[in-house]
Structure 1
Amino acid sequence: MKLPPDWDEPSQENKDLCDKFIYETFDYSGTLPYRLYVPDSSDKVPIVLYLHGADAYGDDNELQLTMHDIGTVFVRDEWQRQHPCYVLAPQCNVGTRWSNLIMQNRVCALIKSLRKKYTNIDDQRIYIYGYSAGGVGCFEILKYHPNIFAAAVPICGATGWENLKELTKTSIWMLHAADDMVVKASYKTDGYSAHLGSRDIYEELRKIHPDLRYTEYKAGELKERYGINPHCSWVPGGQDNEVKEWLFSKVK
């Protein structure tokens, strides 16, 4: 994937945070590389599934965390002191997608396997978040595996009409920039579209969804405030403690 010059880059601190994750692979109709952060706690704690975007596709088991800071926000010391949790970061290979049903089943089987291995994972507090292609993956996994996750934060994601109402079974807070041209906040501006951006999803479901939130960053806001491409809404999202506290308040 060719990245634009104003793409978000990781901080110097991110490497140290990446080093806190162990390296593993999981075999289930194919091999899935993944990284796992194991908290220093014997109490029942949540597990957070993080899905990276297309800019981190590969099989090196590194890029899903090193590409941006967003994959490591929940392993920072200040967060772990207040909210100890597992963080699971699988890597999707080039040529497939998180929205692929086999990949979805593989990821969900991995979560089930980890729950057996780490018995202090609270199965009532399994969370999911992701950006771009990972945001798409969040929506698709929630559609076809709606009974696993207590809450989700899809960032600059999109989906289609199929099984859309299944999203009402999970608490969701979406983040998107109004001027995102990589994955649009709305695909309905020119009439009917097979695609639904975050704004479209909100408009379609807000009257029937019991717990749906949507933050839309104004056009020009990400460029003016952070100097980054408007697709990179994971930057303000990762810094938003209100969103993160909301996520961790949810119980299935």
Structure 2
Amino acid sequence: MSCWEVLEELQPHLGNVPRKERWQEIAKRMEADGKSLHEVTYTWNEGELSLEVGLGAGDKRLVPGTSRIHLVKNGELYPYAVFYPQGYDAQEPGRKWPLIFFFHGIGERGDDPAILLREGLPYELAQGRGVDALVIAPQCPANSHWADQEDELIKLRRFLPAMIEKYPVDPDRIYITGLSMGGRCAWKVALDMPDTFAAMVVACGRTSESDLGAIRDMPLWMFHGVNDSTTSFDNINAILPRLQASQHRHYKLSVYPQVGHNVWGEAYTHMGVFDWLLTQRRSRNREFAAGRKNVLPTDAKKKPV
């Protein structure tokens, strides 16, 4: 298949991307031609679609720098891990830092925050890498669930503001991300506290919420593996129409035809994810939302006869 043929095959139809079976068919046809379809990223920006296709694994740029890790086992409400970026000094007058809240998957539940270092963004940071932001990762109790237990949302409504108050945080640059169960949690918390976050990144996380209008001005990047047998890839085509119906202003989807559930290995080592995330601002979201309100419907602009 030529690159042009690939692009034609991957175009959304009625707003949805190809289904799992179609992705697998395209990948096999490319393999027969000696090519590997590694990653496809769709970007919808104010209704305009662009498409990037990665043939072969390509280069990864792991997050730069180094992080210091502090594990808080007896924290209020949750054990948690906090990652301090390079150059962080809590006593530096007037310095405010971006903050990323990370929510882990089901395998990292418990009461020992060291377990959080096994997967996802905490794993990458624990390898001595870094990101130019504070990262706070709470730990869900072993007998609970981030998304299915309403008690956790009630506690998170207290935990997140407490962390924002405790650390020198720039309120314009607070972000949320999660994988699998934690991806579901990211959706749930963002919809519950939409004015808190500047942007969201979700790896293999689904949402059953039918109305996504509360976050339609919050930039979003989703990652999903076609061969995911835990959170089916078909969940993506359940989410995209709801984003479109809400007139969501800026959302991205990266698809990995050769990857299963552990797509977070791609998401948190992606060449552009943190550059993209840390350029987002809550104030910009508010400005865009205010602009929507100032645009009157066509009929309302007509002068009375």
Q: TM-score, normalised by structure 2?
A: 0.63
5 Å-filtered alignment, 1:1-252, equals 20-27=69-76, 31-39=77-85, 40-41=88-89, 42=92, 43-65=95-117, 67-73=118-124, 79-80=130-131, 83=132, 85-99=133-147, 100-118=149-167, 120-186=168-234, 197-206=235-244, 208-218=247-257, 221-222=258-259, 230-252=260-282
The number of aligned residues is 209
Residue by residue over 1:204-248, the C-alpha shift from the partner in whole angstroms, topping out at 9 and shown as x without a partner, is 313610111111111xx23xxxxxxx1000011111021221111
Q: TM-score, normalised by structure 1?
A: 0.75
Q: CA deviation at 1:75?
A: 7.0
CA 1:155–1:69: 2 relative to 1, 3 Å: closer
The unaligned stretches of length 5 or more in structure 1 are 1-16, 187-196, 223-229
CA distance in 1, matches of 2:145, 2:71: 23
Task: Give the conservation status (yes or no) of the 8 Å contact 1:146–1:169.
Answer: no
Residue by residue over 1:159-178, the C-alpha shift from the partner in whole angstroms, topping out at 9 and shown as x without a partner, is 11344332324211000011
Which one is further off, 146-155 or 206-215?
A: 206-215
Task: Give the conservation status (yes or no) of the 8 Å contact 1:61–1:91.
Answer: yes
CA distance in 2, matches of 1:59, 1:198: 32
Residue by residue over 1:123-170, the C-alpha shift from the partner in whole angstroms, topping out at 9 and shown as x without a partner, is 111111111000111111111111111111010000113443323242
Q: From the CA coordinates, give the structure whose radius of gyration is larger.
A: 2
Q: CA deviation at 1:76?
A: 6.8
Task: Give the conservation status (yes or no) of the 8 Å contact 1:206–1:212.
Answer: no
Q: CA deviation at 1:185?
A: 1.8
CA distance in 2, matches of 1:33, 1:78: 22
The unaligned stretches of length 5 or more in structure 2 are 1-65, 283-305
Task: Give the conservation status (yes or no) of the 8 Å contact 2:120–2:179.
Answer: no
Residue by residue over 1:57-106, the C-alpha shift from the partner in whole angstroms, topping out at 9 and shown as x without a partner, is 111222122x22532445776644xx2x2110100012222123331232
RMSD of equivalent CA atoms: 2.3
- SS of the residue corresponding to residue 37 of structure 1 reads strand
Which amino acid in the other structure matches residue 51 of structure 1? F
Which amino acid in the other structure matches residue 99 of structure 2? I
Which one is further off, 136-145 or 205-214?
A: 205-214
CA 1:69–1:132: 2 relative to 1, 3 Å: closer
